[in-house]
Chains A and B, each alone.
Chain A
Amino acid sequence: MKISIGEYRQGLYKSVGGLIRVFLRKGGGSIEDIIFTGDFFIFPEDSLDLMAQSLKDVALDKERIQDIIGEVFRREGIDSPGTTAEDFAEAIMAAAR
Protein backbone atom coordinates (compact mmCIF):
# COMPACT_ATOMS: atom_id res chain seq x y z
CA MET A 1 0.00 0.00 0.00
CA LYS A 2 1.18 3.52 -0.72
CA ILE A 3 1.36 5.79 2.27
CA SER A 4 0.48 9.43 1.94
CA ILE A 5 2.57 10.43 4.93
CA GLY A 6 0.74 13.71 5.46
CA GLU A 7 -2.44 11.90 6.50
CA TYR A 8 -0.70 9.88 9.19
CA ARG A 9 1.08 10.56 12.44
CA GLN A 10 4.43 8.87 12.66
CA GLY A 11 5.85 7.05 15.68
CA LEU A 12 9.36 5.67 16.05
CA TYR A 13 10.54 3.13 18.56
CA LYS A 14 13.89 1.35 18.65
CA SER A 15 13.59 -2.27 19.73
CA VAL A 16 16.52 -4.64 20.19
CA GLY A 17 15.59 -6.24 16.86
CA GLY A 18 15.34 -3.00 14.90
CA LEU A 19 13.56 0.27 14.34
CA ILE A 20 9.76 0.27 14.26
CA ARG A 21 8.22 3.12 12.29
CA VAL A 22 4.47 3.27 12.68
CA PHE A 23 2.05 5.36 10.65
CA LEU A 24 -1.15 6.03 12.56
CA ARG A 25 -4.44 7.65 11.62
CA LYS A 26 -6.45 8.40 14.71
CA GLY A 27 -10.22 8.58 14.94
CA GLY A 28 -11.07 10.15 18.27
CA GLY A 29 -9.20 8.12 20.85
CA SER A 30 -9.00 5.02 18.66
CA ILE A 31 -6.93 3.55 15.84
CA GLU A 32 -8.60 4.27 12.51
CA ASP A 33 -5.77 2.91 10.41
CA ILE A 34 -2.26 1.73 11.17
CA ILE A 35 0.70 0.72 9.04
CA PHE A 36 3.75 -0.98 10.54
CA THR A 37 7.06 -0.41 8.80
CA GLY A 38 10.69 -0.68 9.87
CA ASP A 39 13.93 -2.61 9.72
CA PHE A 40 13.08 -5.39 12.16
CA PHE A 41 12.60 -9.03 11.14
CA ILE A 42 9.26 -10.80 11.44
CA PHE A 43 8.26 -14.29 10.36
CA PRO A 44 5.97 -15.03 8.61
CA GLU A 45 6.73 -11.87 6.63
CA ASP A 46 3.06 -10.98 6.06
CA SER A 47 2.25 -10.88 9.79
CA LEU A 48 2.20 -7.07 9.89
CA ASP A 49 -1.04 -6.87 7.91
CA LEU A 50 -2.73 -9.26 10.35
CA MET A 51 -1.52 -7.16 13.29
CA ALA A 52 -2.83 -3.97 11.66
CA GLN A 53 -6.22 -5.53 10.91
CA SER A 54 -6.62 -6.70 14.49
CA LEU A 55 -6.07 -3.16 15.79
CA LYS A 56 -8.75 -1.38 13.74
CA ASP A 57 -10.98 0.77 15.99
CA VAL A 58 -9.10 -0.30 19.12
CA ALA A 59 -8.72 2.37 21.81
CA LEU A 60 -5.28 3.98 22.08
CA ASP A 61 -4.46 2.24 25.32
CA LYS A 62 -0.97 0.71 25.48
CA GLU A 63 -1.90 -2.36 27.54
CA ARG A 64 -4.94 -3.16 25.41
CA ILE A 65 -2.89 -2.79 22.20
CA GLN A 66 -0.08 -4.93 23.61
CA ASP A 67 -2.55 -7.67 24.58
CA ILE A 68 -4.09 -7.74 21.11
CA ILE A 69 -0.71 -7.86 19.36
CA GLY A 70 0.46 -10.53 21.82
CA GLU A 71 -2.60 -12.60 20.95
CA VAL A 72 -1.85 -12.29 17.21
CA PHE A 73 1.76 -13.36 17.94
CA ARG A 74 0.54 -16.50 19.74
CA ARG A 75 -2.22 -17.35 17.29
CA GLU A 76 -0.07 -16.97 14.18
CA GLY A 77 3.16 -18.34 15.70
CA ILE A 78 4.97 -15.09 14.88
CA ASP A 79 8.71 -14.97 15.43
CA SER A 80 10.19 -11.50 15.54
CA PRO A 81 13.72 -11.69 16.96
CA GLY A 82 14.41 -8.86 19.38
CA THR A 83 11.05 -7.18 18.81
CA THR A 84 8.12 -7.82 21.14
CA ALA A 85 4.41 -7.04 21.22
CA GLU A 86 5.23 -4.36 23.79
CA ASP A 87 7.71 -2.73 21.38
CA PHE A 88 5.02 -2.46 18.70
CA ALA A 89 2.61 -0.99 21.28
CA GLU A 90 5.28 1.55 22.31
CA ALA A 91 5.70 2.65 18.69
CA ILE A 92 1.95 3.13 18.34
CA MET A 93 1.79 5.19 21.52
CA ALA A 94 4.73 7.29 20.26
CA ALA A 95 2.68 8.05 17.13
CA ALA A 96 -0.41 8.86 19.19
CA ARG A 97 1.33 11.42 21.40
Chain B
Amino acid sequence: MMWRYLDIGLIDPYEAMAVHEAMFISRLEDESPNTLYLEQYNTKSVFLGYHQCAQAELNLDYCKQNNIKVVRRSTGGGAGYMDSKQLNYEVTVDRKEYGIPSDFVGSYGRIMDGFIEALKYLELDAEFKPINDLLVNGGKISGGCMTRKDTIILQHGSLLVDFDLETAFKVLNVPKIKYKSKGIKSAKSRVTCLNKELGYAIKLENLKTVIKKGFMKSFGISFNDSGLSSYEKELVNKLLPKYRSEEFIYRM
Protein backbone atom coordinates (compact mmCIF):
# COMPACT_ATOMS: atom_id res chain seq x y z
CA MET B 1 0.00 0.00 0.00
CA MET B 2 1.28 3.40 -0.97
CA TRP B 3 0.92 6.61 1.04
CA ARG B 4 1.93 10.08 -0.01
CA TYR B 5 4.86 11.60 1.84
CA LEU B 6 4.63 15.38 1.74
CA ASP B 7 7.39 17.49 3.29
CA ILE B 8 6.42 21.12 2.79
CA GLY B 9 9.38 22.54 4.77
CA LEU B 10 8.99 25.95 6.40
CA ILE B 11 5.47 27.33 6.24
CA ASP B 12 3.43 30.24 7.54
CA PRO B 13 1.28 28.93 10.43
CA TYR B 14 -2.03 30.24 9.03
CA GLU B 15 -1.29 28.70 5.66
CA ALA B 16 -0.36 25.48 7.45
CA MET B 17 -3.79 25.27 9.07
CA ALA B 18 -5.42 25.79 5.67
CA VAL B 19 -3.21 23.04 4.22
CA HIS B 20 -4.17 20.66 7.04
CA GLU B 21 -7.89 21.18 6.47
CA ALA B 22 -7.52 21.08 2.69
CA MET B 23 -5.82 17.67 2.84
CA PHE B 24 -8.57 16.39 5.15
CA ILE B 25 -11.39 17.62 2.90
CA SER B 26 -9.67 16.24 -0.16
CA ARG B 27 -9.11 12.86 1.56
CA LEU B 28 -12.79 12.80 2.59
CA GLU B 29 -13.78 13.35 -1.02
CA ASP B 30 -11.39 10.57 -2.05
CA GLU B 31 -9.41 13.06 -4.11
CA SER B 32 -6.19 12.55 -2.11
CA PRO B 33 -4.32 9.49 -0.88
CA ASN B 34 -3.48 8.61 2.71
CA THR B 35 -0.74 11.04 3.63
CA LEU B 36 2.09 11.63 6.07
CA TYR B 37 2.82 15.36 6.00
CA LEU B 38 5.65 17.21 7.74
CA GLU B 39 6.26 20.93 8.26
CA GLN B 40 8.04 23.52 10.38
CA TYR B 41 6.69 26.99 11.11
CA ASN B 42 8.53 30.01 9.74
CA THR B 43 7.66 32.22 12.68
CA LYS B 44 6.97 32.14 16.41
CA SER B 45 3.33 31.26 16.88
CA VAL B 46 0.87 29.93 19.39
CA PHE B 47 -1.91 27.53 18.40
CA LEU B 48 -5.22 27.60 20.23
CA GLY B 49 -7.51 24.60 20.30
CA TYR B 50 -10.86 25.10 18.59
CA HIS B 51 -12.75 25.35 21.89
CA GLN B 52 -10.31 27.51 23.82
CA CYS B 53 -10.86 31.10 24.93
CA ALA B 54 -7.99 33.21 23.58
CA GLN B 55 -7.96 35.83 26.31
CA ALA B 56 -8.14 33.26 29.10
CA GLU B 57 -5.52 30.85 27.78
CA LEU B 58 -2.93 33.26 26.34
CA ASN B 59 -0.97 36.31 27.40
CA LEU B 60 -2.11 38.26 24.37
CA ASP B 61 -0.09 41.38 25.26
CA TYR B 62 3.10 39.33 25.40
CA CYS B 63 2.25 37.76 22.03
CA LYS B 64 1.72 41.20 20.50
CA GLN B 65 4.88 42.70 21.98
CA ASN B 66 6.97 39.76 20.81
CA ASN B 67 5.47 39.25 17.34
CA ILE B 68 4.07 35.85 18.21
CA LYS B 69 1.28 34.96 15.82
CA VAL B 70 -1.95 33.77 17.39
CA VAL B 71 -3.47 30.94 15.37
CA ARG B 72 -6.56 28.82 15.97
CA ARG B 73 -6.89 25.21 14.90
CA SER B 74 -10.09 23.58 13.72
CA THR B 75 -9.38 20.72 16.11
CA GLY B 76 -9.84 20.48 19.86
CA GLY B 77 -7.15 20.07 22.48
CA GLY B 78 -4.90 22.60 24.13
CA ALA B 79 -2.75 25.55 23.15
CA GLY B 80 0.84 25.02 22.09
CA TYR B 81 3.69 27.44 21.50
CA MET B 82 5.78 26.76 18.39
CA ASP B 83 8.73 28.19 16.54
CA SER B 84 10.84 26.69 13.76
CA LYS B 85 12.45 24.12 16.09
CA GLN B 86 9.65 21.61 16.13
CA LEU B 87 8.69 19.18 13.44
CA ASN B 88 4.95 19.18 12.96
CA TYR B 89 2.99 16.47 11.29
CA GLU B 90 -0.38 15.59 9.89
CA VAL B 91 -1.66 12.16 9.02
CA THR B 92 -4.79 11.84 6.92
CA VAL B 93 -5.91 8.26 6.60
CA ASP B 94 -8.95 6.09 6.02
CA ARG B 95 -9.04 4.10 9.24
CA LYS B 96 -10.92 1.22 7.62
CA GLU B 97 -8.00 0.47 5.30
CA TYR B 98 -5.69 -0.24 8.23
CA GLY B 99 -7.98 -1.60 10.91
CA ILE B 100 -7.45 1.55 12.95
CA PRO B 101 -9.91 1.56 15.87
CA SER B 102 -12.90 3.88 15.66
CA ASP B 103 -12.56 5.32 19.16
CA PHE B 104 -10.47 8.40 19.80
CA VAL B 105 -7.83 6.93 22.09
CA GLY B 106 -7.50 3.70 20.08
CA SER B 107 -7.06 5.52 16.79
CA TYR B 108 -4.77 8.19 18.23
CA GLY B 109 -2.54 5.55 19.79
CA ARG B 110 -2.45 3.53 16.57
CA ILE B 111 -1.16 6.50 14.58
CA MET B 112 1.32 7.35 17.36
CA ASP B 113 2.80 3.89 16.85
CA GLY B 114 4.42 5.22 13.66
CA PHE B 115 6.35 7.71 15.80
CA ILE B 116 7.11 5.13 18.49
CA GLU B 117 8.69 2.93 15.79
CA ALA B 118 10.52 5.97 14.39
CA LEU B 119 12.05 6.86 17.75
CA LYS B 120 13.26 3.28 18.20
CA TYR B 121 15.64 3.92 15.29
CA LEU B 122 17.11 6.68 17.50
CA GLU B 123 17.26 4.26 20.43
CA LEU B 124 14.55 6.10 22.32
CA ASP B 125 11.67 4.29 23.97
CA ALA B 126 8.51 6.31 23.58
CA GLU B 127 5.13 5.44 25.02
CA PHE B 128 1.67 6.66 24.14
CA LYS B 129 -0.16 8.11 27.11
CA PRO B 130 -3.86 8.60 26.56
CA ILE B 131 -5.46 10.64 25.61
CA ASN B 132 -3.01 12.43 23.32
CA ASP B 133 0.53 12.50 24.68
CA LEU B 134 3.70 10.78 23.57
CA LEU B 135 6.22 10.41 26.40
CA VAL B 136 9.94 9.76 26.46
CA ASN B 137 11.43 9.11 29.90
CA GLY B 138 8.20 10.42 31.43
CA GLY B 139 8.35 13.78 29.62
CA LYS B 140 5.93 14.88 26.92
CA ILE B 141 7.70 15.00 23.58
CA SER B 142 4.66 15.21 21.34
CA GLY B 143 1.13 16.48 21.67
CA GLY B 144 -1.53 16.58 19.08
CA CYS B 145 -5.16 16.49 18.17
CA MET B 146 -7.58 14.86 15.88
CA THR B 147 -10.78 15.30 14.01
CA ARG B 148 -12.63 12.68 12.03
CA LYS B 149 -15.55 12.32 9.70
CA ASP B 150 -16.97 9.11 8.30
CA THR B 151 -13.93 6.80 8.39
CA ILE B 152 -11.37 9.50 7.62
CA ILE B 153 -9.02 10.69 10.34
CA LEU B 154 -7.04 13.90 10.47
CA GLN B 155 -4.42 13.72 13.18
CA HIS B 156 -1.92 16.50 13.58
CA GLY B 157 0.59 17.51 16.19
CA SER B 158 4.18 18.32 16.90
CA LEU B 159 7.36 16.53 17.74
CA LEU B 160 9.46 18.71 20.01
CA VAL B 161 12.93 18.59 18.48
CA ASP B 162 14.01 21.56 20.56
CA PHE B 163 11.75 23.69 22.69
CA ASP B 164 11.85 27.20 24.11
CA LEU B 165 10.20 26.39 27.41
CA GLU B 166 10.71 29.86 28.88
CA THR B 167 8.88 31.64 26.05
CA ALA B 168 6.19 28.97 25.96
CA PHE B 169 5.30 29.58 29.58
CA LYS B 170 5.25 33.35 29.05
CA VAL B 171 2.78 32.89 26.20
CA LEU B 172 0.51 30.33 27.86
CA ASN B 173 -1.56 30.83 30.99
CA VAL B 174 -1.38 27.33 32.39
CA PRO B 175 -3.84 27.00 35.27
CA LYS B 176 -2.42 25.13 38.26
CA ILE B 177 -5.48 22.90 38.38
CA LYS B 178 -4.35 21.30 35.12
CA TYR B 179 -1.32 19.74 36.75
CA LYS B 180 -2.36 19.41 40.36
CA SER B 181 -4.32 16.24 39.70
CA LYS B 182 -1.29 14.59 38.08
CA GLY B 183 0.83 15.21 41.15
CA ILE B 184 3.45 17.07 39.14
CA LYS B 185 5.11 20.03 40.77
CA SER B 186 5.04 22.28 37.77
CA ALA B 187 3.85 22.20 34.20
CA LYS B 188 7.39 22.74 32.96
CA SER B 189 8.63 19.45 34.36
CA ARG B 190 6.20 17.59 32.11
CA VAL B 191 7.86 18.66 28.87
CA THR B 192 10.96 17.28 27.20
CA CYS B 193 12.41 17.44 23.70
CA LEU B 194 14.29 15.20 21.33
CA ASN B 195 17.66 16.97 21.49
CA LYS B 196 17.59 16.80 25.28
CA GLU B 197 16.77 13.09 25.29
CA LEU B 198 19.32 12.29 22.58
CA GLY B 199 22.07 14.41 24.10
CA TYR B 200 22.86 15.93 20.71
CA ALA B 201 21.11 18.11 18.12
CA ILE B 202 19.57 15.80 15.55
CA LYS B 203 19.60 16.86 11.93
CA LEU B 204 16.05 17.34 10.70
CA GLU B 205 16.73 15.33 7.57
CA ASN B 206 17.76 12.35 9.72
CA LEU B 207 14.65 12.72 11.84
CA LYS B 208 12.41 12.84 8.77
CA THR B 209 14.05 9.70 7.44
CA VAL B 210 13.39 7.74 10.63
CA ILE B 211 9.79 9.00 10.78
CA LYS B 212 9.22 7.66 7.27
CA LYS B 213 10.82 4.36 8.26
CA GLY B 214 8.74 4.21 11.44
CA PHE B 215 5.48 4.61 9.52
CA MET B 216 6.57 2.14 6.85
CA LYS B 217 7.22 -0.44 9.53
CA SER B 218 4.16 0.33 11.65
CA PHE B 219 1.65 0.37 8.79
CA GLY B 220 3.40 -1.90 6.28
CA ILE B 221 3.39 0.80 3.61
CA SER B 222 5.68 2.49 1.12
CA PHE B 223 5.78 6.19 0.35
CA ASN B 224 5.45 8.20 -2.80
CA ASP B 225 7.03 11.65 -2.33
CA SER B 226 4.88 14.41 -3.78
CA GLY B 227 3.40 17.84 -3.14
CA LEU B 228 -0.11 19.20 -2.81
CA SER B 229 -2.48 18.49 -5.67
CA SER B 230 -3.95 21.38 -7.64
CA TYR B 231 -7.32 20.67 -5.98
CA GLU B 232 -5.74 20.88 -2.52
CA LYS B 233 -4.04 24.16 -3.49
CA GLU B 234 -7.41 25.49 -4.59
CA LEU B 235 -8.89 24.50 -1.23
CA VAL B 236 -5.98 26.15 0.63
CA ASN B 237 -6.74 29.44 -1.14
CA LYS B 238 -10.39 29.17 -0.14
CA LEU B 239 -9.64 28.25 3.49
CA LEU B 240 -6.80 30.67 4.19
CA PRO B 241 -8.97 33.79 4.77
CA LYS B 242 -10.79 31.92 7.58
CA TYR B 243 -7.58 31.06 9.42
CA ARG B 244 -6.27 34.62 9.04
CA SER B 245 -9.52 36.26 10.19
CA GLU B 246 -9.77 37.82 13.66
CA GLU B 247 -13.34 36.54 13.78
CA PHE B 248 -12.12 32.95 13.71
CA ILE B 249 -8.94 33.40 15.78
CA TYR B 250 -10.78 35.23 18.54
CA ARG B 251 -14.06 33.36 18.14
CA MET B 252 -14.04 32.98 21.90
Residues of B within 8 A of A (CB-CB), count: 32
Question: Which residues of A sit under 8 angstroms from B157, Cβ to Cβ?
Answer: none
Considering only residues 69-121 of chain B, those with a C-beta below 8 Å from chain A are 74-79, 103-105
Q: Does B199 contact A (CB under 8 A)?
A: no
> A43 contacts B131, CB within 8 Å?
no
Nearest CB of chain B from residue A53's CB, rounded to whole Å:
15
- When the two chains form their complex, are residues A81 and B52 in contact, meaning their CB atoms are under 8 A apart? no
| Assembly CA distance A13 to B181 (angstroms) | 11
Are the CB atoms of A39 and B53 closer together than 8 Å? no
Residues of B within 8 A of A5 (CB): 55-56
Which single residue of chain B is at the shortest CB-CB distance from A45? B50
A-binding segment of B6-14, B172-180, B206-214: B172-180
A73 within 8 A of partner (CB): no
Contacting pair A38 B51 (CB below 8 A): yes
A15 to B81, CA, bound (A): 22
- Per DSSP, are chain B's interface residues mostly helix, strand or loop, or mixed? loop
0/1 per residue, B143-156, Cβ < 8 Å to A? 00111100000000
Cα A12 to Cα B77 in complex, Å, equals 16
Q: Which residues of B contact A43 (CB under 8 A)?
A: 104, 147-148
A39 touches B76 (CB 8 A): yes
Residues 51-80 of A at the B interface (beta carbon under 8 Å): 79
Would you call A35 an interface residue if the criterion is a C-beta within 8 Å of the partner chain's C-beta atoms?
yes
Measured between beta carbons, the chain A residues less than 8 angstroms from B75 are: 41, 45
Partner of B105, one of A1, A2, A36, A81: A81
Do A1 and B76 contact each other (CB < 8 Å), given the known contacts A14-B177, A21-B53, A41-B131? no
The answer to whether A41 and B76 have CB atoms under 8 Å apart is: yes
B250 lies within 8 A of chain A by Cβ: yes
A38 contacts B52, CB within 8 Å?
yes
The reply to whether B51 and A16 form a contact with Cβ atoms under 8 Å apart is no
CB distance from A72 to the nearest CB of B (A): 16
**Pairwise interchain contact B104-A79, C-beta atoms closer than 8 A:** yes
Within 8 A of B (CB), among A15-50: 16-19, 21, 23, 35-43, 45, 48
The residue that A81 contacts in the complex, of B55, B103, B181, with Cβ under 8 A, is B103
- Chain A residues near B146 (CB-CB < 8 A): 41
Q: Are A35 and B252 in contact (CB under 8 A)?
A: yes
Give B99 Cβ to nearest chain A Cβ, in Å. 20
Give complex CA distance A79, B104 in Å: 9
**Given A41-B77, A42-B76, CB of A23 within 8 Å of CB of B148:** no
Min CB gap A16→B, angstroms: 7
Contacts of A14 in B (CB 8 A): 177-178, 180-181
- Complex Cα–Cα for A82 and B133 (A): 14
CB-CB under 8 A from A42, the residues of chain B are 51, 76
| Listed A/B pairs (21) with beta-carbon separation below 8 Å | A1-B251, A1-B252, A10-B56, A12-B177, A14-B177, A14-B181, A19-B78, A21-B53, A21-B57, A37-B56, A39-B76, A39-B78, A40-B76, A41-B76, A41-B145, A43-B104, A43-B148, A45-B75, A45-B76, A45-B147, A81-B103
